[in-house]
């Protein structure tokens, strides 16, 4: 259990660094800080995915809660206004815990009021409950000595796209429709109705605006940080006779009598998720629970939300994350569903880079997402042995992808005469280091990027193996010849003997010697073009120059372009994004690479396990069970970007399970001579 006492809860500076996250399996979510003070425009109690997993609207921002004891009002809420936090309900907050969802305990005049928040899986619904008891844990029903105790709850509505903010306006419709146990509001035409189901509450439909609420994190990020929120009504529940109060906020009419069953179902669902953990190791179990929050519905299939709060489903992130999110956790059915979902959208031999939020055309501006698709397929076969699924549903698509890359597809992506894969369009960033500011490319990687060649070779080896299994003799020969040609060229062009590692990009006569983490992929992938000695030297350089307690830096600190802090406005942050920022997901391939070159022995495992200690502490203390997108390159390595990132969680889970705890599937052990380059295992160059 993750929990904090009054020393953290009553300290805003400490409390505001800690953010909780609830998700609903549709792309919707609820999130805030542990004191309920929203510091982001993405914080709210109901961010609904109207067209799952996208079309996300922030409907219910928060609840203003007031405990009333004998006429005295005690505000439990907290908001940031210009120059002041008001009210300061955290002064009554004695504990926050995840048990298994957010639970807040307040102490007022000897009475404890416990508030819990969870989302209903598969619905755009959030449940908020309150329970009153005498301090010390006994029921308040028989022991309450005050003549009257009630709670007043005032919903604050935003009703806007979750990337935006809203302000007081005359277009808002304040009307509240009520019937027994249900209130409904629809402030703007064309947006969903918000239904609020009530327990033992009286409703007062007098609405007004809360003006100039500030979001401090958005101000730090140089974005719009001021918002006005509308409160359409107030609810009051007499706790002198009803120890429990609660509401369900939903985009569909809801019955408050479902509340106990919804809570029980959600607790059972989370217990079932944890039961899929391949280990009792605390970090593994935490990551298994975190992984579940990224798996969401897209039509009849599943997909992966790249990160909360603002990412949708991205092809690259999904394919990298798939083994850790679904295969390590024994959810191969989900793996298959996701692979089928993305295979449907392959076009001109490319996987989509991302599915847009608002229904625009899909974007295919990626050279690596498609290649990670092959690795995800390989991992599925490794874990399940289900080659028949691949033969029936995916092999034709994989074959077509290779053919498109040979003859050339979008953005100048094609195989050159040397057998390596190039991308020639100077206007589009196609690798994962993809930031552009206007026409300015921050991390130019045009030409042949090192991890793209590693992924291309790996894809060819995967296809050679599949062709053999499916008696495609022509394909088997073709892919083997293509892989051999790529390997010869790669070793001739990419090895930087002076630095003892690989060039990051080769483009004609240009050799980019920047020390970046991309080269670790050339070691960590199951099929590698490097000798054991070359691989060891790459790992040594990456460890020395890039390793931190929270992942790998995106550029060595000795480089004059290095930016050690990811902060400031959008431009400042973009300039640092891949120029020194630490990426947790890269710890996964680094650990895999380290274990490959040092052998699966106790000493190597101990050392690799020590590199994960920072994450063990982080998920307990700051991350509240999740791992963020990035950290600062400079110590103390503050977390930045999204508070929860799919590939961060997935790669830590995969590497911890496979490489440190030895949780490798039998299919992998039996097929090691097929899926891992035999020459590397022998310490010799490939043939």
Q: Return d(Cα 667, Cα 376) in angstroms, integer.
A: 15
How long a stretch of residues is the chain? 687
pLDDT category of residue 676 using cuts at 50, 70 and 90? very low
Q: What is the mean pLDDT of residues 170-196?
A: 94
What does the DSSP assignment read for 468-514?
HHTT-HHHHHHHHHHHHHHHHHHHHHHEETTTTEE-SEEETTEEE--
Report the run of H or E that residue 79 belongs to, with start and end.
strand 78-81
Q: What is the mean pLDDT of residues 437-466?
A: 95
pLDDT category of residue 83 using cuts at 50, 70 and 90? very high
Confidence at residue 360, expressed as pLDDT on a 0 to 100 scale: 65
Confidence at residue 358, expressed as pLDDT on a 0 to 100 scale: 62
| % of the chain surpassing 70 pLDDT | 94
Q: Return d(Cα 156, Cα 207) in angstroms, integer.
A: 10
Confidence at residue 200, expressed as pLDDT on a 0 to 100 scale: 61
Other C-beta atoms closer than 10 Å to the C-beta of 212 total 15
Angle at 25 between CA 49 and CA 76, to 5 degrees: 75
Pairing of strands 93-98, 295-298: unpaired
| Cα atoms in the 13 Å half-sphere on the side-chain side of 206 | 3
Give, as one character, the DSSP assignment of residue 350: B
For the question of whether the overall pTM of this predicted structure is more than 0.85, the answer is: yes
Poorest-confidence range of 15-19, 64-68, 357-361, 564-568? Answer: 357-361
Confidence at residue 533, expressed as pLDDT on a 0 to 100 scale: 97
Confidence at residue 359, expressed as pLDDT on a 0 to 100 scale: 61
Q: Return d(Cα 516, Cα 586) in angstroms, integer.
A: 11
Confidence at residue 677, expressed as pLDDT on a 0 to 100 scale: 39
Confidence at residue 666, expressed as pLDDT on a 0 to 100 scale: 52
| % of the chain surpassing 90 pLDDT | 86
Angle at 159 between CA 179 and CA 74, to 5 degrees: 70
First to last CA, the chain: 52
pLDDT category of residue 205 using cuts at 50, 70 and 90? confident
pLDDT in tens, 508-553: 999 999 999 999 999 999 999 999 999 999 999 999 999 999 999 9
Q: Does residue 145 have a pLDDT over 80?
A: no
Residue pointed to by tokens 């990811």: 566
Environment class of 444 (CB within 10 Å of its CB; exposed 0-12, middle 13-18, buried 19+): middle
Q: What is the mean pLDDT of residues 356-383?
A: 90
3-class secondary-structure state, position 520: helix
Q: Does residue 409 have a pLDDT over 80?
A: yes
Across the strands, what pairs with 160? 58
Confidence at residue 201, expressed as pLDDT on a 0 to 100 scale: 67
Name the residue with higher pLDDT: 380 or 685: 380
Confidence at residue 674, expressed as pLDDT on a 0 to 100 scale: 33
Confidence at residue 241, expressed as pLDDT on a 0 to 100 scale: 75
Long-range contact list for 260-269, CB < 8 A, 24+ apart?
A: 262/120, 262/125, 262/127, 263/118, 263/127, 263/129, 265/121, 266/101, 266/118, 266/119, 266/120, 266/121, 267/100, 269/121
Long-range contact list for 554-559, CB < 8 A, 24+ apart?
A: 554/433, 554/516, 554/517, 554/578, 554/579, 554/580, 554/581, 554/582, 554/583, 554/633, 555/514, 555/515, 555/516, 555/579, 555/580, 555/633, 556/514, 556/515, 556/516, 557/633, 558/515, 559/514, 559/515
> Are the C-beta atoms of 309 and 29 separated by less than 8 Å?
yes
CATH class of 2-269: mainly beta
Q: Does residue 146 have a pLDDT over 50?
A: no
Q: Does residue 102 have a pLDDT over 60?
A: yes
Q: Return d(Cα 528, Cα 667) in angstroms, integer.
A: 20
Q: What is the mean pLDDT of residues 448-467?
A: 98
Report the run of H or E that residue 650 belongs to, with start and end.
helix 646-655
pLDDT in tens, 319-344: 999 999 999 999 999 999 999 999 99
CATH class of 276-681: mainly alpha
Q: What residue ranges do the domains of the chain occupy?
A: 2-269, 276-681
Q: Does residue 686 have a pLDDT over 70?
A: no
Confidence at residue 670, expressed as pLDDT on a 0 to 100 scale: 36
Q: What is the mean pLDDT of the chain?
A: 92
Q: Does residue 163 have a pLDDT over 90?
A: yes
pLDDT in tens, 552-598: 999 999 999 999 999 999 999 999 999 999 999 999 999 999 999 99
Name the residue with higher pLDDT: 444 or 396: 396
Q: What region, left, alpha or beta, does residue 109 occupy, with left being phi > 0 and alpha being psi -120 to 50 degrees? A: left
Across the strands, what pairs with 85? 80
Q: What is the mean pLDDT of residues 473-495?
A: 98
Name the residue with higher pLDDT: 356 or 135: 135
pLDDT in tens, 212-263: 999 999 999 999 999 999 999 999 998 877 778 899 999 999 999 999 999 9
Across the strands, what pairs with 21? 31
Q: Return d(Cα 159, Cα 169) in angstroms, integer.
A: 12
Q: Return d(Cα 330, Cα 657) in angstroms, integer.
A: 12
Closest to 617 measured CA to CA, from 602, 639, 633, 650: 639
Q: Does residue 142 have a pLDDT over 50?
A: no
Q: What angle in degrees, to the nearest 10, is found between the helix axes of 602-610 and 587-598?
A: 160
């Amino acid at each position: 259990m993750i929990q904090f006492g009054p020393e953290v809860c009553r300290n805003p500076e400490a409390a505001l660094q800690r953010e909780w996250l609830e998700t609903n399996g549709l792309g919707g979510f609820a999130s805030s800080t542990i004191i309920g003070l929203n510091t982001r425009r993405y914080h709210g109690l109901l961010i609904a995915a109207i067209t799952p997993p996208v079309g996300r609207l922030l409907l219910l921002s928060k609840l203003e809660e007031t405990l009333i004891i004998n006429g005295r009002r005690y505000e439990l809420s907290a908001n940031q206004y210009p120059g002041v936090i008001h009210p300061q309900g955290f002064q009554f907050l004695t504990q926050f815990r995840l048990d298994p969802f957010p639970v807040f305990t307040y102490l007022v005049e000897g009475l404890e009021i416990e508030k819990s928040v969870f989302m209903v899986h598969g619905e755009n619904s959030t449940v908020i409950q309150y329970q009153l008891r005498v301090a010390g844990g006994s029921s308040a029903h028989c022991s309450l000595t005050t003549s009257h105790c009630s709670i007043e709850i005032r919903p604050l509505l935003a009703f806007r796209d979750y990337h935006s903010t809203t302000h007081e306006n005359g277009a808002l419709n304040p009307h509240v429709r009520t019937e027994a146990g249900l209130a409904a509001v629809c402030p703007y035409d064309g947006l969903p109705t918000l239904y609020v189901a009530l327990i033992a509450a009286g409703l007062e439909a007098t609405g007004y605006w809360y003006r100039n609420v500030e979001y401090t994190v958005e101000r730090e990020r140089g974005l719009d940080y001021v918002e006005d929120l509308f409160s359409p009504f107030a609810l009051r529940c007499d706790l002198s006779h009803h120890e429990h109060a609660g509401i369900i906020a939903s985009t569909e009419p809801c019955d408050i009598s479902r509340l106990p069953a919804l809570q029980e179902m959600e607790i059972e669902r989370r217990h079932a998720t944890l039961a899929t953990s391949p280990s009792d190791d605390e970090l593994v179990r935490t990551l298994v629970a975190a992984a579940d929050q990224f798996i969401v519905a897209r039509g009849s299939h599943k997909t992966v939300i790249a990160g909360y709060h603002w990412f949708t489903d991205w092809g690259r992130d999904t394919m990298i994350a798939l083994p850790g999110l679904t295969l390590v956790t024994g959810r191969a059915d989900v793996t298959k569903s996701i692979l089928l979902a993305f295979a449907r959208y392959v076009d001109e031999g490319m996987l989509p880079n991302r599915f847009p939020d608002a229904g625009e055309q899909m974007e295919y501006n990626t050279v690596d997402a498609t290649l990670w698709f092959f690795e995800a397929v390989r991992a599925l076969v490794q874990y399940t042995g289900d080659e028949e699924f691949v033969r029936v549903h995916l092999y034709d698509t994989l074959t077509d992808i290779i053919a498109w890359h040979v003859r050339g597809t979008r953005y100048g992506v094609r195989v050159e005469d040397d057998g390596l894969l190039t991308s020639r369009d100077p206007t589009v960033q196609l690798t994962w280091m993809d930031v552009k500011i206007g026409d300015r490319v921050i991390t130019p990687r045009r030409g042949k990027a090192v991890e793209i060649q590693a992924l291309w070779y790996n894809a060819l080896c995967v296809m050679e193996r599949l062709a053999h299994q499916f008696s495609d003799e022509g394909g088997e020969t073709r892919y083997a010849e293509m892989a051999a040609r790529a390997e010869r060229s790669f070793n001739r062009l990419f090895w930087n003997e002076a630095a003892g590692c690989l060039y990051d990009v080769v483009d004609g006569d240009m050799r980019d010697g920047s020390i970046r983490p991309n080269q670790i992929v050339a070691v960590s992938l199951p099929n590698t073009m490097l000798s054991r000695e070359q691989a060891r030297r790459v790992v040594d350089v990456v460890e020395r120059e890039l390793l931190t307690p929270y992942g790998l830096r995106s550029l060595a600190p000795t480089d004059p372009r290095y930016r050690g802090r990811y902060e400031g406005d959008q431009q400042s942050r973009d300039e640092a994004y891949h120029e020194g920022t630490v990426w947790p997901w890269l710890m996964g391939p680094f650990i895999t690479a380290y274990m490959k070159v040092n052998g699966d022995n106790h000493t190597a495992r101990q050392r690799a396990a020590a590199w994960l200690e920072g994450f063990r502490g982080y998920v307990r203390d700051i991350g509240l069970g999740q791992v963020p997108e990035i950290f600062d390159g400079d110590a103390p390595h503050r977390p930045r970007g999204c508070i929860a990132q799919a590939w961060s969680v997935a790669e830590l889970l995969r590497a911890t399970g496979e490489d440190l705890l030895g949780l490798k599937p039998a299919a992998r052990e039996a097929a090691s001579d097929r899926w891992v380059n035999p020459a590397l295992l022998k310490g010799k160059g490939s043939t």
